[in-house]
C-alpha cells in the first residue's frame, strides 16, 4: 500500500490509486496511478467505479504500475439488464412495486463477474470497461474504447466495441516479459533496471535477471 497520495508534489490531478481506495472489494497494486483534470481523483470510487453494489460481491482488481486516464469508467453488473427475460425492464429491482420477492432482486441483471486488470496496463481517456472483463498485463486500451471482452497481454485494443489493433511486441518478447514479471521485483531492483525498461532493452533486462540468479 502506498504511503503517499500524490506522486508529484503540488500536483493534485494524479493520485496513487490504492492510497485513496476504501472499499475492501477494490484491490489495487502499488504505483498504479489515476489522473483526473475534471474531478478530484480522490473520488475515483464514487465517480469511476459504477453500479458496484454489495449484493453481487464482485471485485475490482487492478495490478501494479497501471496508468488510468481521466474519465475511465468501470461498469459493474448492476448496470446490466437481463437478457433472459422477455422484457428489458428491471421488474425484480422494483419488487415492492410489483409484489415480487426481495430475495430475487438480482434477477434484474445478468451477473458477468469481476473486472480484473493486469499489471502495467494503460487505459486511455474516457474508456469504458464492462463487468466480467479480464485485461492482460501490458495491454493498452485506446481512448473512448468500450471493452466488452477479455484483452490479451500486451495487446492494443480500441473502438466500440473494442477490438485488437495490434500487439505491442512480437510473441517472443511478450513471452519473456510475462516470464520476467518485472513489476513483482523489489523496488530497488526495478530502479536499477529502469534504463533497460525505459529503453525497451529486453535482452539487457534478461541478462540482469540472469546475473541476479547466479549471485544467489
Pick left, alpha or beta for residue 214 (phi over 0 → left; psi -120 to 50 → alpha; otherwise beta). Answer: alpha
Question: Whose grid coordinates read 549471485?
Answer: 215
Does the structure show a pLDDT above 60 at 214?
no
Mean pLDDT of 107-128: 96
What pLDDT score was predicted for residue 205?
Answer: 92
Which domains, from first to last, does the chain contain? Answer: 14-169 (2.160.10.10)
Name which of 117, 178, 177 is nearest 151 in CA terms.
117
Catalytic residue among 43, 52, 81, 196: 81
Strands (E) located in 107-214: 115-117, 122-123, 128-130, 134-135, 140-141, 146-147, 155-158, 163-167
Q: What is the pLDDT of residues 53-109, one digit of tens each?
A: 988 889 999 999 999 999 999 999 999 999 999 999 999 999 999 999 999 999 999
Name which of 197, 72, 60 is nearest 145 in CA terms.
72
Strands 49-50 and 67-68: unpaired
Query: d(Cα 59, Cα 128) in Å, to the nearest integer?
Result: 16
The mean pLDDT value of the chain amounts to 94
Cell of 118: 493486469
Query: d(Cα 148, Cα 134) in Å, to the nearest integer?
Result: 9
Question: Whose grid coordinates read 458477468?
Answer: 112
Query: d(Cα 178, Cα 203) in Å, to the nearest integer?
Result: 14
H or E segment and range at residue 192: helix 187-198
What pLDDT score was predicted for residue 175?
Answer: 96
Cβ-based burial of 166 (10 A; exposed 0-12, middle 13-18, buried ≥19): exposed
Mean pLDDT of 111-138: 97
Establish whether 81 is a catalytic residue. Answer: yes
CA dist 145 to 115, 121, 125, 163, 211, Å? 16, 14, 9, 9, 41
Question: Whose grid coordinates read 533497460?
Answer: 196
φ/ψ of 164, rounded to 5, equals: -60, 135
How far is C-alpha 137 from the chain's CA centre? 10
Q: What is the pLDDT of residues 185-204, one digit of tens each?
A: 999 999 999 999 999 999 99
- Cβ contact 15:30 at 8 Å: no
Task: Give the rounded percent of residues in the chain with a pLDDT score beyond 90.
Answer: 90
Amino acid at each position: 500500500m502506498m504511503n503517499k497520495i500524490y506522486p508529484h508534489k503540488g500536483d493534485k490531478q494524479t493520485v496513487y490509486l490504492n492510497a485513496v481506495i476504501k472499499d475492501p472489494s477494490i484491490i489495487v497494486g502499488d504505483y498504479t496511478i489515476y489522473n483526473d483534470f475534471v474531478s478530484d481523483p480522490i473520488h475515483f470510487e464514487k465517480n469511476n467505479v459504477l453500479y458496484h453494489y454489495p449484493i453481487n460481491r464482485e471485485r475490482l482488481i487492478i495490478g501494479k504500475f497501471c496508468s488510468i486516464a481521466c474519465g475511465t469508467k468501470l461498469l459493474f453488473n448492476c448496470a446490466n439488464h437481463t437478457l433472459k427475460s422477455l422484457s428489458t425492464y428491471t421488474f425484480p429491482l422494483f419488487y415492492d412495486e410489483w409484489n415480487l420477492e426481495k430475495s430475487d432482486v438480482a434477477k434484474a441483471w445478468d451477473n458477468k463477474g469481476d473486472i480484473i486488470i493486469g499489471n502495467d496496463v494503460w487505459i486511455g481517456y474516457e474508456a469504458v470497461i464492462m463487468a466480467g472483463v479480464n485485461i492482460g498485463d501490458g495491454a493498452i486500451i485506446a481512448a473512448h474504447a468500450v471493452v466488452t471482452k477479455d484483452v490479451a497481454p500486451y495487446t492494443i485494443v480500441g473502438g466500440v466495441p473494442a477490438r485488437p489493433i495490434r500487439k505491442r511486441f512480437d510473441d517472443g518478447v511478450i513471452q519473456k516479459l510475462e516470464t520476467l514479471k518485472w513489476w513483482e521485483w523489489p523496488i530497488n531492483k526495478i530502479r536499477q533496471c529502469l534504463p533497460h525498461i525505459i529503453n525497451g532493452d529486453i535482452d539487457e533486462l534478461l541478462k540482469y535477471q540472469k546475473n541476479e540468479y547466479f549471485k544467489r
